[in-house]
Amino acid sequence: MKLFCVISVIAVLGYFGFLHMEIQESIRQQIPENADYLMILGARVKGSVPSLSLQYRIDKAAEYLSANKHTVVIVSGGKGPGEDISEAKAMQQGLIAQGIEEARIMMEDKSTTTHENIVFSKELIPDTATSGLIVSNDFHIYRAVEIAKKEGLDMKGLPAKTPKVSLLKSYTREYLAITKYYLTGLIGR
């Protein structure tokens, strides 16, 4: 029994190590210039104020959009409990406040999960677009890009930093979310 427990612990640690390597590899990819579009994935809004995680996503997208004037952006996220406005609206307001023209911003404000962010936003991608980037916090890029691939989109990640105060919680939740994604993918979801 003791040997089984030791082997189980080693297997779990090895698995989480593998996931961490996949996440780190996904955020180290070279970011192409002049992407046709960005897709910013939603995160919590406190009332009408973006959480720090969402603010980092807005800031990273605004930085890219300022340097790549022909790139359009899809802001994606619905309105959840404790949110006075949708996550998409908070992102739109944040981008406009940083000088991004409203005409470059498309809103998807119904989604409640990463999968829905991508599926619902896919409908807004311009017909002529061929290159896209997903903007999310670094811990989230790997899974988001994998979901996009499953939905027929060839996208790279544009990672925003993760707030230090939530690093452990964010990575732990993401390991579990990736595991769920793998398992539901294996059983035909």
DSSP three-state, residue 67: helix
What confidence tier does 189 reach under pLDDT thresholds 50, 70, 90? very low
Q: What is the mean pLDDT of residues 7-30?
A: 89
Q: What is the mean pLDDT of residues 166-175?
A: 88
**Tokens standing for residue 90:** 């908070």
Using the predicted structure, report yes or no on whether residue 2 has a pLDDT greater than 90: no
Q: Which residue has the tokens 């030791």?
A: 6
**Tokens standing for residue 58:** 């807005």
Q: What is the pLDDT of residues 104-156, one digit of tens each?
A: 999 999 999 999 999 999 999 999 999 999 999 999 999 999 999 999 999 99
What confidence tier does 183 reach under pLDDT thresholds 50, 70, 90? confident
Look at residue 186 in the predicted model and tell me its pLDDT.
54
Burial class (CB in 10 A: 0-12, 13-18, 19+), 31: exposed
Which domains can be identified in the chain, with CATH numbers? 2-186 (3.40.50.620)
What confidence tier does 187 reach under pLDDT thresholds 50, 70, 90? very low
Do 61 and 40 meet the contact criterion of CB atoms below 8 Å apart?
yes
Look at residue 73 in the predicted model and tell me its pLDDT.
98
Cβ atoms within 10 Å of 79's Cβ, excluding its own: 18
